[in-house]
Amino acid sequence: MFIYDFAQGNKDMRDLLGGKGANLAEMTNLGLPVPPGFTITTEACRTYLETGREPAELHDEVTAHLTGVEKARGKTLGDPGDPLLVSVRSGAKFSMPGMMDTVLNIGLTDQSVRGLAEQAGDERFAWDSYRRLLQMFGRTVLGIDGAHFDEALEDVKRDRGAEHDVDLDADALRGLVRTYKSIVSEESGRDFPQDPREQLDAAVRAVFDSWNAPRAETYRRQERIPADLGTAVNVVAMVFGNLGPDSGTGVAFTRDPASGARGIYGDYLANAQGEDVVAGIRNTVPLADLGQHNKEAYAQLLDIMATLEGHYRDLCDIEFTIERGRLWMLQTRVGKRTAAAAFRIAVQLVDEGLVEEDEALARVDGHQLAQLMFPRFDERAQRTPIAKGMNASPGAAVGRAVFDTGTAVDWAQNAHEQVILVRRETTPDDLDGMIAARGILTSRGGKTSHAAVVARGMGKTCVCGAEELDIDLGHGLFTAPGGVEVREGDVISIDGSSGEVFLGEVPVVDSPVVRYFEGELDPDAAAADELVGAVHRLMTVADDRRRMGVRANADMPEDAARARSMGAAGIGLCRTEHMFLGDRRRYVERLILAEGEREREEALEALLPLQRDDFVQILAAMDGLPVTVRLLDPPLHEFLPDLTELSVRVALARERGKEDSGDLRLLQAVRRLHEQNPMLGLRGVRLALVVPGLATMQVRAIAEAAAIRADAGGDPRVEVMIPLVGAVQELELSREDAERTIAEVRQRTGFSAPIPIGTMVELPRAALTAGDIAQVAEFFSFGTNDLTQTTWGFSRDDVEGSFFSAYLEKGVFGASPFESIDVDGVGRLVRIASEEGRASRRDLKLGVCGEHGGDPESVHFFHDVGLDYVSCSAFRVPVARLEAGRAAV
Ligand code: ADP
Ligand code: MG
Ligand code: MG
């Protein structure tokens, strides 16, 4: 059975009937006025694609179901005296750009067009329908460039002095049909088929074929939609919105999909057919106006919309047509919506008793929440939109337009200007400019273009593929539609959440959602807006349901305080590298250059109180909550002067005969410490083992800080984390040293609270020997950034800007493994280490630090693996809380 009548399907059959077919069936069975029709299944399409031919039974099945439709309408397809007409509509499980467009009015021929005119008593209508068929069939089935038809239409309109297509009379349209037919003959090499069934079969086959259109294929690979699903085809009896002023067609939403406000919302166009509403052929009127012209149909429409919402328990969007006063439903589906609307509607539905809290939580996601947290352009401000591209990386950026990387870096660094880097497309050569810019604007490329991938990786605002812009790099300017010219240095504003480009500066405001998280907005106050209230409600549900804790990565006291207000239950990663920077670099230099124990100890002695102070402040900000401090991780040469700069300095001094012995020694040290692959060099626990006293000093600073906090009446809960361990022996050695130091501090200060010692798991070897390592570690924290680098053999800094966009385009992965955890590879290591670690130490605490801790999909994975907490940047904490809740329901 390759065909289902609308009465035979239902909304849960999307695999077989596609989204459109399943919902048409559902509406039919709800008793709503859907024109009769049937759905050819995705299975028929799959057979066709595999074998190159329709299944043998299909022809007869089409005949049988077509006869059913003919009976229901009392007409025969293409009958010269009184023709039944049908539409042929594609409809896959997931809606997909690149799939074939709908063909309306199939069944019209040189004969039946006259029958249609007679039956309807309207010549104009019949010829209008016929010219539409020729145009749609020619373009989508025969693959003729649509411009031919558009030009011919414009010519007739010009000749007749007609402003709109409705102003053309029957005579003009008859002439247009003649022209269209000759376009078809000339461009396709054959005449337009005059056999109605041949039209139908050709259209069905074209829908099947469109599954493999290049645009559809690319889209599928990127969205990870399996390539073998196939599409269904819907054949629907035509109803006519172009039968005069009491006819029309429209689209509607049961709530506002932009804001989420209650109340219906939509557009209507009288005397029109199909896509006219969205194609902007004429000006539509708001849906409510329909109520004035046709009370009855309008009331029925409202009634149906209420039925659909109650039935789908969600926002629905619909397509409908009114034929001479009578309402027909042509499509419905659970409607797309903005992030703000998603939150508001989810909570409204709870209040209306339509869904439970858990379900409401499932209907929003962390990506939407993140969107709501970006700063935005002030909506009340005056804005001058000049173009629209793709919303590649969210945010609101304002700056001076610059057209090359050199200028971007120069202006940003030397003139402290905010710049927007404008390029046709970016390449790895533009990396420095992208880093220096506030935002990036390109005229070419989609969401996996180099610009888009790199911008998202950097968290930088990006609008890409703004094709209307004509960028003239040579003259340092671009032109936008309407002749607007923007030269180097002119200020523009780009909105990475909507893809809009504005001329001049649009003021930026903080998101109210962030102000709420930071405690500036009271969600219960009457004045709080509905969106903030909705976010608050769903966050409360998420916090209640989640099993995992959420901590933050924070290195400074201010970050810690901010993270706490965002709901972080501690610090999962406190890096200590910044404690060696700035003025403190000279102590690091002294440490490295030290000759003999005395000098080295002096350098460490100088660093100790500074670090201790830092820890005291962070522990104060996180009083009562765990703080995991990671011992120094990066290679020491990162704290020394650059090799080239220092070499030049030394050489110059030598020429002048003023050699500086300090500089000379420093240069030798820099040369000695230089590494080909610093990422794989002397860093992490390796430093603790071979640089005497360094880790000891850090542990002492940590323990003494805890003691100071406890003395002051605080509740310090510090944990020591040893990075980059690959072998249990490394951890044993560094742990012994740390324990000795802690014991000595305890003795001196009387401090007695526990200081757990654990390790970061960020090397495959650590994951694979986790059972042994857990014997010596009280906790594991998965460092998924480094674990991804070391598992894939990718150097993050090098690959993201070079070949990752190509990998995404070719579909090697759907998202960068640095953004979303690679479940099959890196994830497998996490799973092995968790299981084997817990097997050897039952109460081993497991967490993750690194960007993945704030990525929605990764959070679900970490929940499934059984981690105790995730840790992410402060800004991502609410996202992780929400997703940890969603993972648990
Ligand atoms: P899309 O998936 O692009 O929305 P549709 O198959 O829904 O394509 O059809 C395109 C337009 O044609 C829509 O406005 C739809 O309502 C209209 N349409 C489709 N079938 C019919 C029909 N049988 N009678 C009247 N209008 C139709
Ligand atoms: Mg549609
Ligand atoms: Mg690391």
- Nearest-atom index, ligand 1, CA of 240: 25
Looking at 161-286, list the stretches that DSSP marks H as alpha helix, in order from N- to C-terminal side.
170-188, 196-210, 214-223, 276-279
Question: 287 and 146 in one domain?
Answer: no
pLDDT at residue 431 in the model: 87
pLDDT at residue 755 in the model: 98
CATH no. for residue 255? 3.30.470.20
pLDDT at residue 526 in the model: 52
Does residue 76 have a known ligand-binding role? Answer: no
Terminal-to-terminal C-alpha distance of the chain: 38
Question: 803 and 719 in one domain?
Answer: yes
CA-nearest residue, atom 12 of ligand 1: 274
Q: With DSSP H G I counted as helix, E B as strand and the rest as coil, what are the percentages for the chain, rounded to 5?
A: 50, 20, 30
Question: 733 and 648 in one domain?
Answer: no
Inside any domain, residue 327: yes
323 CA distance to ligand 2 middle (Å): 17
CA-nearest residue, atom 6 of ligand 1: 89
Give Cβ neighbours of residue 562 (< 8 Å, ≥ 6 apart). 518, 554, 874
Distance, CA of 433 to CA of 887 (rounded, Å): 39
Residue type present at position 788: T
Inside any domain, residue 148: yes
Which range among 51-55, 455-459, 546-550, 604-608 shows the weakest confidence by mean pLDDT? 455-459
Answer whether 102 contacts ligand 1 (Cβ < 6 A). yes
User: What tens digit of pLDDT does each residue of 138-160 get?
Assistant: 999 999 999 999 999 999 999 99
112 CA distance to ligand 3 middle (Å): 74
Inside any domain, residue 615: yes
Query: Which neighbouring-strand residues pair with 376?
Result: 509
For residue 872, indicate whether it is catalytic.
no
Does residue 762 have a known ligand-binding role? Answer: yes
pLDDT at residue 222 in the model: 65
Written as six digits, the tokens of 133 are 């068929």
Answer whether 89 contacts ligand 1 (Cβ < 6 A). yes
| Banded pLDDT at 527 (limits 50, 70, 90) | low
Indicate the number of domains in the chain: 5
Inside any domain, residue 494: yes
Choose one of 460, 477, 509: the last residue of a domain. Answer: 509
Answer whether 73 contacts ligand 1 (Cβ < 6 A). no
Q: How many Cα atoms are found within 13 Å in the side-chain-facing hemisphere of 30?
A: 23
CA-nearest residue, atom 11 of ligand 1: 274
In this prediction, residues 660-677 reach a mean pLDDT of 87
350 CA distance to ligand 2 middle (Å): 29
Phi/psi at 39 (5° precision)? -120, 125
User: What tens digit of pLDDT does each residue of 698-743 get?
Assistant: 999 999 999 999 999 999 999 999 999 999 999 999 999 999 999 9
CATH no. for residue 744? 3.20.20.60
Answer whether 238 contacts ligand 1 (Cβ < 6 A). yes
Q: Cα separations (Å) of 741 from 74, 701, 702, 705, 735?
A: 94, 10, 10, 13, 10
User: What tens digit of pLDDT does each residue of 245-254 get?
Assistant: 899 999 999 9
ipTM of the complex: 0.96
Does residue 785 have a known ligand-binding role? Answer: yes
CA-nearest residue, atom 15 of ligand 1: 274
Distance, CA of 168 to CA of 161 (rounded, Å): 9
pLDDT at residue 475 in the model: 93
772 CA distance to ligand 1 middle (Å): 64
Task: Name the catalytic one among 148, 849, 852, 872.
Answer: 849
For residue 849, indicate whether it is catalytic.
yes
What is the spatial order of strands in the sheet that 37-40 belongs to? Answer: 3-5, 37-40, 231-237, 86-92, 103-106
Q: In the 8-state DSSP scheme, what is residue 667?
A: H
- H-helix or E-strand containing 377? strand 376-377
Does residue 856 carry a pLDDT above 90? Answer: yes
Residue type present at position 445: G
Answer whether 87 contacts ligand 1 (Cβ < 6 A). yes
* Percent of the chain whose pLDDT exceeds 70: 99
CA-nearest residue, atom 27 of ligand 1: 274
In this prediction, residues 652-679 reach a mean pLDDT of 87
Mean pLDDT score across all residues of the chain: 93
34 CA distance to ligand 1 middle (Å): 12
Which range among 131-135, 337-341, 828-832, 877-881 shows the weakest confidence by mean pLDDT? 337-341
Answer whether 568 contacts ligand 1 (Cβ < 6 A). no
Give Cβ neighbours of residue 658 (< 8 Å, ≥ 6 apart). none
User: What tens digit of pLDDT does each residue of 674-701 get?
Assistant: 898 989 999 999 999 999 899 999 999 9
Does residue 85 carry a pLDDT above 90? Answer: yes
User: What tens digit of pLDDT does each residue of 402-452 get?
Assistant: 999 999 999 999 999 999 999 999 988 898 899 999 999 999 988 778 898
- H-helix or E-strand containing 130? helix 123-136
CATH no. for residue 456? 3.50.30.10
Question: 97 and 222 in one domain?
Answer: yes
Does residue 23 carry a pLDDT above 90? Answer: yes
Question: 195 and 146 in one domain?
Answer: yes
Choose one of 237, 270, 299: the last residue of a domain. Answer: 237
Question: 752 and 611 in one domain?
Answer: yes
Answer whether 19 contacts ligand 1 (Cβ < 6 A). no
For the CA of 136, the nearest ligand: 1
365 CA distance to ligand 3 middle (Å): 28
Distance, CA of 17 to CA of 12 (rounded, Å): 9
Question: 258 and 204 in one domain?
Answer: no
pLDDT at residue 709 in the model: 98
Task: Name the catalytic one among 45, 65, 316, 450.
Answer: 450
Q: Residue 833: exposed, middle, or buried by beta-carbon count in 10 A (0-12, 13-18, 19+)?
A: buried
Does residue 783 have a known ligand-binding role? Answer: yes
Ion ligand 2: protein residues whose beta carbon lies under 5 Å: 319, 331
pLDDT at residue 800 in the model: 81
**Which residue out of 6, 40, 87, 269 has the highest number of ligand 1 atoms within 8 Å of its CB and is therefore the one to mutate?**
87
Q: Cα separations (Å) of 232 from 14, 25, 85, 211, 889?
A: 9, 13, 20, 10, 33
30 CA distance to ligand 1 middle (Å): 20
Answer whether 275 contacts ligand 1 (Cβ < 6 A). yes
Answer whether 104 contacts ligand 1 (Cβ < 6 A). yes
- H-helix or E-strand containing 881? helix 877-888
Does residue 784 have a known ligand-binding role? Answer: yes
Provide the Cα torsion 332, 337, 341, 347; round to 10°: 50
User: What tens digit of pLDDT does each residue of 503-517 get?
Assistant: 999 999 989 999 999
Inside any domain, residue 326: yes
Question: 390 and 275 in one domain?
Answer: no
Nearest by Cα to 24 from 103, 87, 76, 75: 87
Choose one of 280, 313, 334: the last residue of a domain. Answer: 334
- Other C-beta atoms lying within 10 Å of the C-beta of residue 423: 25
Inside any domain, residue 667: yes
Question: 188 and 140 in one domain?
Answer: yes
Judged by DSSP in three states, 354 sits in coil
- Nearest-atom index, ligand 1, CA of 275: 14
Answer whether 236 contacts ligand 1 (Cβ < 6 A). yes
Question: 824 and 701 in one domain?
Answer: yes
pLDDT at residue 456 in the model: 81
Inside any domain, residue 309: yes
571 CA distance to ligand 1 middle (Å): 54
Instruction: Provide the total of helices (H) and of strands (E) in the chain, helices listed first.
Output: 36, 33
Distance, CA of 49 to CA of 165 (rounded, Å): 39
- Nearest-atom index, ligand 1, CA of 239: 24
Does residue 836 have a known ligand-binding role? Answer: no
Does residue 546 have a known ligand-binding role? Answer: no
Judged by DSSP in three states, 443 sits in coil
pLDDT at residue 342 in the model: 96
Phi/psi at 846 (5° precision)? -120, 130
Q: Where would I find the beta strands (DSSP E) of 733-882?
A: 757-761, 779-783, 845-849, 869-873
Phi/psi at 284 (5° precision)? -80, 165
User: What tens digit of pLDDT does each residue of 483-503 get?
Assistant: 999 999 999 999 998 899 999
Question: 265 and 156 in one domain?
Answer: no
Q: Residue 678: exposed, middle, or buried by beta-carbon count in 10 A (0-12, 13-18, 19+)?
A: middle
Ion ligand 3: protein residues whose beta carbon lies under 5 Å: 762, 783, 786
319 CA distance to ligand 2 middle (Å): 6
pTM, 2 dp: 0.87
In this prediction, residues 224-231 reach a mean pLDDT of 87
Domain containing 88 equals 67-237
For the CA of 553, the nearest ligand: 3
Q: In the 8-state DSSP scheme, what is residue 189?
A: S
Inside any domain, residue 23: no
Answer whether 99 contacts ligand 1 (Cβ < 6 A). no
- Nearest-atom index, ligand 1, CA of 236: 23
Distance, CA of 129 to CA of 7 (rounded, Å): 28
Question: 439 and 410 in one domain?
Answer: yes
